[in-house]
Every structure is written in structure tokens, then in C-alpha cells.
Amino acid sequence: MRLNDWISAGVLAAAAMFIAGCSTTQGVLDSQSLKNIPDHNYIIGPGDNVNIFVWRNEEVSQSVPVRPDGKITTPLVEDLQASGRTPTELARKIEEVLGTYIKDPIVTVIVTGFNGPYDQQIRILGEASSPKALPYKEKMTLLDLLIEVGGLTEYAAGNQTTLVRRINGEEMKYRVRLADLVEDGDISANVHLLPGDIIIIPESWF
């Protein structure tokens, strides 16, 4: 086994041990597990770009990136926390700060880039063709995620995949059937995802 393979295996094993120690194991998820998907409001995260428009005040309207520390700086607004807020919440906070200098400012925030906070991203580890973290999209499913990462490797134990989800502050583990979904076209295995879900695909031992 190559060094990179050993490192990848070690990271996956460590993640599995950590999750096993802090999660409660549940049953198998299917497409009926989430009949009513909660409404999702986009949360700004580091790496996003925010376009700030201040009505009738072009000199303080600007497009700025959200820094790695989650803050932004614009004319008259220094080191303001943007990460963790919706665009509307950020707009109201900017209005509050600008109100010291401008009478009754009206601010609109438009987000581009779309990374979102890390705890809102969908992360897929293990035997995916291209393991990665992705921003959550409304009504995202396992099938959408597999398309994004290029499917499974030939060594994947798809039906032994674990989905880790935080519910009311507690880490919960579920099994999902990726092999049935990909190889057999079983749409009942196409589970809806939620912000922050972690998918761990183990390697088949035979």
C-alpha cells in the first residue's frame, strides 16, 4: 500500500473511531425518512463574497470577501462578523453600524461564492472517487452528492456507508445503501441530506 493510501486509511479510521465514540447508532435511512424537509436559509461562511449595496450611498457600497476569521471590512464598517449570519441579518447589522454616520441607511447584501460555514457543509469521506466538503443545497440528496464526487471507487462497501447527523445537539449514526442506489438504481435508497451531514464510505474487505 502506498504512503498516501496509508494516510487516507488512517484518517478514515480515526474519523470512524471518533464518531463511534460520540454517536448513537440508529437504523437504515431511506427516501421516506425525511418527508418534510426543513426550510433552509443560507448562512454566510468564510470564503464567501458579499456584495453590499447601500441605497444612495455608492461610496460605501462594495463587494468584499469574508475572511478566514469570518469577518468583513468595508468603508465605515471594520471587522464585522459576517460568518454565521444570513444575508438579511448581515444587512441589518451593517445598517446598525452605518447609522452612526448615515441617516437611515438602507442596505442590501447579495452573496456569491457560496461556501457556507464548515458546520453547514456536507462532507463525504472514504471510498468516494473524490472525497470533499460541499456547500449544502436545498433538497440535496445522496444521489446529488455522488454525482458531485464522481461516484464510488471499485473498493467501496456502499451498503455499509454511515451517515452521521446532528439532531438536537446529539450525533446520530445511520446506515445508507449507496450500492443499491448506484448499482441497482434503487431510488428508495436516495436519502435527503441536511446541513452538516457527514457520509463515511468504508472499504470492502473482499
> Which pTM was predicted?
0.81
Ranges of each domain in the chain? 3-40+118-201, 49-112
Question: Taking a C-beta distance cutoff of 8 angstroms, is the pair 154, 106 a contact?
Answer: no
pLDDT at 7: 44
pLDDT beneath 50, residues of the chain:
1-4, 6-8, 11, 14, 18-22
Element (H, E) at 50: strand 49-54
| Partner residues linked to 122 by β-bridges | 134
CATH topology of domain 3-40+118-201: Outer membrane lipoprotein wza fold like (3.10.560)
pLDDT at 25: 65
CATH class of 49-112: alpha beta
Task: Please name the amino acid found at residue 45.
Answer: G
Count of all residues that appear for the chain in the document: 206
Query: Starting from the edge strand earliest in sequence, which strands make up the sheet with 62-65, in order?
Result: 62-65, 49-54, 107-112
Q: Strand 132-134 vs strand 122-126: parallel, antiparallel, or unpaired? A: antiparallel
Question: What distance in Å separates the CA atoms of residue 169 and residue 92, rounded to the nearest whole number?
Answer: 28
